[in-house]
Amino acid sequence: MSESSKAVFLSYASQDAEAAKRIADALRSAGVEVWFDQSELRGGDAWDAMIRKRIKECALFVPIITPNTNARAEGYFRLEWKLAVDRSHLMADDAPFLFPIVIGDVADATARVPDKFRDVQWTRLRLDETPAELAARVARLLSGVSGVGGALRPDSSKPSGHKAPPTGHPGRWQWWMIFPILGMIVGLKFAAVPLWRSFRGPAPKPVVTAQAPDHVSEARQLAQKAAAMSVDKYSSTADDYAAAEGLLKRALELEQNDAEIWAISSMLHTNIRTRGFDHNRARREWARRDAERAVKLDPNSQNALFALGRAQRDTDPVTAEATFQKLLSVNPQNADAMGQLAWLYDGDGRVEEAIKLYDRVLTLDPADAPLNQYVRFLLFFHYSRFAEAEQAIRRSVEMEPSANSCAGLVMLLLTAKGDAEESARVLATVPAAFRNEPRIVWVEAMAQLCRRDPEAVLRTLQRLQSDYIQDNWFAGPKAYFAGLAHAMAGRAEAARVAWQSALAIVDTRLKETPDNPTLHLCRGQLLAWLGQTDEARREARLLDEMRAGRPTRSWFDSIALIHAAVGDADKAMPLLEQLMSADNSTNVGWPLTRALLRFDPRWDKLRADSRFQKLCAEPAPSTESDSSFAKATEDWSGKSSLPDQKSVAVLAFANLSDDKANEYFSDGISEELLNVLAKIPNLKVSARTSAFYFKGKEVPVPEIAKQLGVAYVVEGSVRKAGDKVRITAQLIKAADGFHVWSDTFTRDLKDIFAVQDEIAGLIARQLQLKLGEGGARVAVDPALYELLLQARALTLRESNEDWRQAIALYRRALERESRLALAWAEMARTYVQLGRFGGMPTPLAMREARPAAQRALELEPDLASGLVALGWVQRTADWDWRGARRSFQRALELAPGNSSIMGDLAVFYFNTGRVAEAKTLARQAVERDPLNARAQASLGFILNLNGDWEQALAPLEQAVALAPAIEEVRSHKARALSILGRQDEAAAAAEQEPNEAYRLAARAFLMGRPDQAAASNRALSEFIAKYGDDMPGYVANIYAIRGEVDPAFVWLERAYGRRDAAVVWVKTNANCRSLHSDPRWPGFLRKVGLADDQLN
C-alpha cells in the first residue's frame, strides 16, 4: 500500500470485510485512493497509531453500517467512528467528510450510530452490485457532478435542527454517487488537511492568516504536499526532502504572502540540516528568516510560532524556550511544543523534566508514537541509560521500523552490549525502502567491521551511490570504511588506494569549509592510516586549537581517534579514560563503552597497552557497595530485597491484533504462560496482579523488576487473526535491562497450549532450569478457549457487572463442553466474589457457587481453584470450619506460590482464631504480590480488626494508592485513625470512602470527640434505614465499638438469622471486645461453631 495519505477511509466491522473490499475495489477502479487493509497479522500499537493518523488526514470518512455493526455494542470500528466525529467538529458545516453507507436491513431509527452520522445523507448499497458495474457508473458520472459542498448534507429544505434520515427514495442520493464526489474531493485534499506538524499532536485551533490572491489554494496545496512527504513523514528520506524542496519552491513562486507556506519552508530548512541531509550553514539562517517572515505575516499562527522556536532552538535555546512557552499558553495541549521543550530540557540537563514531557507527548499524540519513542531513546542513550533506551527504541521499531529507529537499535546493541550478531539480525529486517539510506548503510558497515567481516562491509558500501556519507552520526567519505575493510582483509594496497581517495574528497570539501572540525578529524585519521603520522599529529593539534583545548563530550568527535590511528597510546589513553568516566548524569551524545573499545577496529593499535586492556576489562564487583545496596534495599520485614537469580515476572503481553477488543486474548496468553512457568521447580514467579500492574505504563524494566523483586522479566506481544496466532516473547535481565533471549512463534490457535509450553521451556533453559513434567498437551477448541479467556478477563476486572458477564461466558463454555473442570471452578469462584462484595445476596451466591465447585472437583479433584471456591462456600454459607480449612490448605499445597490463595487462607485463619498464622500468611501474600490492592487490603483488614491499628495504616494506604476506586478500605482506615485519636484525619478518610454504605458506617464509628456524637448517631440511623436489613453484622459492630452491648447482641442475632457473612469475623474482631465479658458471648460463638474446642 502507498505510504501517502489515503483520500478515503473505509471503516467497517471485521464481519463485513468482504463487502468493504468490494467497495474499496470499486473506488480504486474509479481512480480514487482508499485506505483499506486486509493484512491479517498486521496491527498493534503501530497500526493503531496509523489508523488514528489516517482518520486525522483522510479527505472522506466512510463508515459501513450493517446488521453486524448494529449487533456489536463494542468494536474497534466504534472507536474509528468516534475519532471521525471528533474531527468533524473542527470542520465547517458544509465541508464534506462523513459519508455513511448502509448495507443490509438496518432501520434508520434503530441504527446504532453516533448522532453526528444522522446529520448527513446516507446511501444504501445493493448487495448484488458488482465492482465492474460500479466502475462503469463512475466512468459515466465522473463528469456529471458539479459540486461537493452541500451534496453530502441532508435535504436543505428541512427545518433547522431537523435531522433527516436517509430514505433511499427515487430522486434522492444513491450509494454509487459517492464516486464522482470522491474524485473531486481527492483533488481538494491537500488544501483541506491540517498543516504539517513535526511532532504531530492535537489539532491546533484555527487561525486567521493573511489574505492572498486567488491562486493561494494552489500554492498551499503544493506546500502541503511538500510537508506531507518530508517534515510530516516520520520515515522520510533525503530523496523525499529533495522533492519537497522543489514543490515548495513552486509554491513560493505562486504566493509570497501566506504565513503557513513560509512556516513550512522554515521547517524544511531546519529538518534538512538536523536530519544531516545538508550541513550548509546557510540553512540555519534561511530557517530563521522564513519563520520570522511567517510570524510577521500572521503573529497568531501556531505553525509559524512553532517554526520560529524550532529555528531558534539550536542557537538560542533561551529564546526558543520562551517561544514554545508562548505557543503552549495559546494551546496547552500542543504536543509539538511540548516535545521541543523536552528537547531543550534534555540539552540543559533537566532530564527528569524532559522525560515527563516526552511521556505526556506520547499520551497526547499516539499517532506519532514511533517518532516520539525514538526521541525518548535518544535522550536515554545520550545519558547512558541503556535499559530505558532499549525499551524505547524497540517499541519504536516494533511500531514502525524506519532508518532512524533500526539504526538506533543497532547502535545501542553495539554500544551497550557489543552484540554485533543481533545487530546483523536487526539490519536484516530493515524495510526495503530504507536499505540504501546513508545511515543504514554506514551503520551496517560499522556493525560488520565490529564482526570482523570485511567482505560484507564492501558489499554493503556498494549500495551507497554517493562517495560521501552525510549523516548526523557520521560524516565522511565512503572510502573511509572501504579502506578499513581492505586493511582488515590484509589488502594493504587496496586500503591505501581507498584512503587516498577519501583524503582527496576531504581536502576538496575543506576548501569550501576550512574550519569544519568533522572534516579535520576525518583527515587526521586518514593521514595516520596512510603512514603520514606527522601530518596526522598536526591535524590533531589544529583540531585542539580550533576547540580551544576544550575536551569533547562524545568519543566520535574526539581527537582520541587520531591518536589511536597513529598508535599514540600516551595521548589517546587520558582522553579515553576521561570519556569513560562520565556517569549517566551527563549528556555525552554517543557514550563510549567497554563494548565499543573491545570490538571497534579503530582502537586496534592501542590493544597492547595495559591501560587500554584495563579500560576494556569489566570492573570487579565491590563488596562494600554490594553490602551498602543490600542494606539500603531491606524491606519492612528486615530481609534483603536482592532478587533471587531464579526469579521472573511475566508482564502483560501487548495486543497487536487489529481488533483492540482482543486484549483479553493477549492478557490470557500472558497469564497462561505465567501459570506454566510457576510450575517449574526452583523458579520464583511474580504474581499476576503485580506483574500486570504495569500494563500501559511507561516504566523501565529495571524499575519494574525492582518493585517486583525479580531478576528477570518476560514481555512480549500477541497478534491474533482468524485461527492463527503470532506470539513474540523476550526474556530481559533486570540488572542491565538487556534482552537475554527473544523469539517469535506463529501457530494455529488449536496448538496454543503447546506453544506456551515451548516458550516456557526456552525461558527455563535460559535460566538453567528444567520445565516440570506435565501431561501431554492436547489440541484446544479455539472457540472454547476464547470464551474462557474472555470470562477470565472479566473476572479479573473486579466489578459486579463484569463478574455477571463472566458467569454468562462460563455457562456458554460449559454448553460447548460440560466436562471442563476449570470453567466450573472459575464460575464458582466468581459467584463467591459476587457474594463477598455485594453483587448479589450472600446466601444466594453461595447456593450457586456450591454445585459448580462440587462439579469441578468431581471432574478434577486436585484443582486448586475448585478447592478455593468450595472453601469459601464451607466458610461463609455452611460455617463448616474444618471442611473449609481442609479445602484452603489443600489448595495452597497444590499452588504454593499463589498469593490469592495465601490471602484466602489468611482470612480463614484469622476468622478461626489463628491470628499469628493469619498475619504471617497475609504478609507473605503481600510480599509475593506487592502491587495487588486486594492483598494489601486483606493484610490491612486483618491488622485493623486485630487491634493493630498503627500497623494497619500502611497496607490500607497502599491499597488505596494502587486502586483508588477500591471500596471499604477507607472505612477501615477511618476506624483505625479514630481509635488512634487522629480524628480530623479519620473524618477525612471517611468522607473519601466511595461506597455509601461503608461511608455511613465509617461516620457512625467516629465517636472520638464529644462534637462528633450527633453526626455519628445520624449516620448510624441512616445506615440502619438503608442497609440494616442487608448488613446487620455491621450494625452490631458499630454498637459494639461504642460499648452498647445489648443492641450489639440484638443485631448479632439478626446477622446470625440472615447468615450474614460478617458473623464469621466476630471471634477475633477487636470491635467486639466489649462483648467478651458478657455471658451471652460464649454461647453465641458456640452457636456459630467458633468455640475453641469446635475448631480443633
Task: Specify the CATH number for the domain of residue 467.
Answer: 1.25.40
Digit-coded pLDDT (tens) for 597-613: 988 999 999 988 899 98
Q: How far is CA 65 from CA 37, 62, 68, 125, in A?
A: 18, 9, 8, 10
Residue 626: which pLDDT band, with cuts at 50, 70 and 90? Answer: very low
Structure confidence at residue 134 (pLDDT):
45
Structure confidence at residue 164 (pLDDT):
29
Digit-coded pLDDT (tens) for 204-214: 333 333 444 44
Whether the pLDDT of residue 200 is over 80: the answer is no
Whether the pLDDT of residue 233 is over 90: the answer is no
Q: Are residues 211 and 352 in the same domain?
A: yes
Residues 918, 920, 921, 924, CA torsion sign: positive
Position 257, amino acid = N
Whether the pLDDT of residue 568 is over 80: the answer is yes
DSSP states along 967-987 = SSHHHHHHHHHHHTT-HHHHH
- Range with the largest mean pLDDT of 147-161, 184-198, 223-237: 223-237
Lowest-confidence pick of 103-112, 405-414, 846-855: 103-112
Q: Are residues 22 and 165 in the same domain?
A: yes
User: 134 in a domain, yes or no?
Assistant: yes
Of 301, 323, 329, 302, the C-alpha closest to 311 is 323
C-alpha cell at 345: 530540557
Structure confidence at residue 126 (pLDDT):
58
C-alpha cell at 138: 463512475
The domain boundary, picked from 739, 760, 780, lies at 780
Digit-coded pLDDT (tens) for 374-386: 988 998 888 888 8
Q: Are 825 and 788 in contact (CB under 8 A)?
A: no
CATH number of the domain to which 865 belongs: 1.25.40.10
The domain boundary, picked from 867, 893, 919, lies at 893
The residues facing 9 across adjacent strands are: 35, 61
Position 811, amino acid = R
Q: What angle do CA 994, 996, 1002 make, to 5 degrees?
A: 90
Lowest-confidence pick of 26-35, 483-492, 766-775: 766-775
C-alpha cell at 175: 450509494
Of 77, 40, 84, the C-alpha closest to 58 is 84
Compute the distance between CA of residue 509 and CA of residue 336 in angstroms, rounded to an integer: 36
Digit-coded pLDDT (tens) for 463-487: 887 889 988 788 899 999 999 999 9
The residues facing 34 across adjacent strands are: 8
Q: What letter would DSSP give residue 98?
A: B
CA 171 centroid distance within chain: 50
Of 465, 375, 6, the C-alpha closest to 190 is 6
Structure confidence at residue 31 (pLDDT):
67
Residue 16: which pLDDT band, with cuts at 50, 70 and 90? Answer: confident
Compute the distance between CA of residue 286 and CA of residue 280 in angstroms, rounded to an integer: 10
Residue 48: which pLDDT band, with cuts at 50, 70 and 90? Answer: low
Compute the distance between CA of residue 794 and CA of residue 668 in angstroms, rounded to an integer: 11
* Mean pLDDT within 885-889: 94
Q: Are residues 929 and 876 in the same domain?
A: no
Structure confidence at residue 768 (pLDDT):
62
Whether the pLDDT of residue 562 is over 90: the answer is yes
Structure confidence at residue 621 (pLDDT):
41
* Mean pLDDT within 117-131: 65
Whether the pLDDT of residue 720 is over 50: the answer is yes
User: 948 in a domain, yes or no?
Assistant: yes
Structure confidence at residue 339 (pLDDT):
86
Q: Are residues 345 and 305 in the same domain?
A: yes
- Residues with Cβ < 8 Å from 916, sequence gap 6 or more? none
Digit-coded pLDDT (tens) for 79-121: 889 889 888 887 877 677 888 888 877 777 678 899 888 877 7
Structure confidence at residue 210 (pLDDT):
41
Q: Are residues 151 and 251 in the same domain?
A: no
Whether the pLDDT of residue 778 is over 90: the answer is no
Domain count, the chain: 6
Residue 767: which pLDDT band, with cuts at 50, 70 and 90? Answer: low
Lowest-confidence pick of 173-182, 257-266, 920-929: 173-182
User: 1006 in a domain, yes or no?
Assistant: no
H/E segment holding residue 123? strand 123-125
Structure confidence at residue 167 (pLDDT):
31
* Mean pLDDT within 758-768: 68
Q: Are residues 766 and 848 in the same domain?
A: no
Q: Which residues of 944-956 are buried (b: 16+ CB within 10 A; e: fewer)?
A: bbbbbbebbbebb
Compute the distance between CA of residue 29 and CA of residue 135 in angstroms, rounded to an integer: 6
User: 169 in a domain, yes or no?
Assistant: yes
Whether the pLDDT of residue 948 is over 70: the answer is yes
Question: Helix 864-873 to helix 842-859 angle, to the nearest 10 degrees?
Answer: 150
More confident residue, 305 or 120: 305
H/E segment holding residue 708? helix 701-708
Place of cell 516473547: 729
Q: Are 627 and 593 in contact (CB under 8 A)?
A: no
Q: Are residues 889 and 912 in the same domain?
A: no
Residues spanned by the domain of 677: 643-780
Whether the pLDDT of residue 615 is over 80: the answer is yes
Compute the distance between CA of residue 667 and CA of residue 459 in angstroms, rounded to an integer: 44
User: 1088 in a domain, yes or no?
Assistant: no
| 3-class SS of residue 640 | coil
* Mean pLDDT within 917-936: 89
| 3-class SS of residue 96 | coil
Place of cell 451534496: 151
The pair phi, psi for residue 837, each rounded to 5°, is -120, 30
Lowest-confidence pick of 139-143, 481-485, 650-654, 922-926: 139-143
Residue 57: which pLDDT band, with cuts at 50, 70 and 90? Answer: confident
Digit-coded pLDDT (tens) for 1036-1056: 999 998 889 999 999 999 999
Question: Helix 533-546 to helix 517-529 angle, to the nearest 10 degrees?
Answer: 160
Structure confidence at residue 630 (pLDDT):
30
User: 621 in a domain, yes or no?
Assistant: no
H/E segment holding residue 1021? helix 1013-1027
Of 422, 427, 466, the C-alpha closest to 445 is 427
By CB atoms closer than 10 A (0-12, 13-18, 19+), residue 144 is exposed
Place of cell 584512503: 499
Compute the distance between CA of residue 594 and CA of residue 601 in angstroms, rounded to an integer: 13
Whether the pLDDT of residue 60 is over 90: the answer is no
User: 38 in a domain, yes or no?
Assistant: yes
Whether the pLDDT of residue 994 is over 80: the answer is yes
- Range with the largest mean pLDDT of 99-103, 676-680, 758-762, 983-987: 983-987
Whether the pLDDT of residue 763 is over 90: the answer is no
Residue 215: which pLDDT band, with cuts at 50, 70 and 90? Answer: very low
| 3-class SS of residue 732 | strand
CATH number of the domain to which 139 belongs: 3.40.50.10140
CATH number of the domain to which 656 belongs: 3.40.50.10070
Whether the pLDDT of residue 956 is over 90: the answer is yes
Whether the pLDDT of residue 647 is over 90: the answer is no
Structure confidence at residue 1032 (pLDDT):
93
C-alpha cell at 433: 525502502
C-alpha cell at 1024: 440502619
Average confidence score pLDDT of the chain: 79
Compute the distance between CA of residue 372 and CA of residue 392 in angstroms, rounded to an integer: 9
CA 443 centroid distance within chain: 28
Lowest-confidence pick of 484-498, 726-740, 859-873, 908-922: 726-740
Of 286, 292, 225, 283, the C-alpha closest to 254 is 225
- Residues with Cβ < 8 Å from 287, sequence gap 6 or more? 266, 267, 269, 270, 273, 307, 310, 311
Structure confidence at residue 510 (pLDDT):
92
Q: Are residues 739 and 838 in the same domain?
A: no
Q: Are residues 599 and 652 in the same domain?
A: no
Lowest-confidence pick of 46-60, 119-133, 217-231: 119-133
Length of the chain equals 1096
CA 781 centroid distance within chain: 31
Digit-coded pLDDT (tens) for 323-371: 999 998 888 888 888 888 988 888 777 888 888 888 888 878 777 888 8
The domain boundary, picked from 946, 965, 984, lies at 965
Q: Are residues 878 and 919 in the same domain?
A: no
Q: Are residues 114 and 76 in the same domain?
A: yes
User: 295 in a domain, yes or no?
Assistant: yes
C-alpha cell at 784: 472454547
Whether the pLDDT of residue 317 is over 60: the answer is yes
**What Rg, from alpha-carbon coordinates, does the chain have?**
35
Q: Are residues 476 and 564 in the same domain?
A: yes
Residue 741, number of CB atoms within 10 A of its CB: 16
Pairing of strands 101-103, 468-470: unpaired
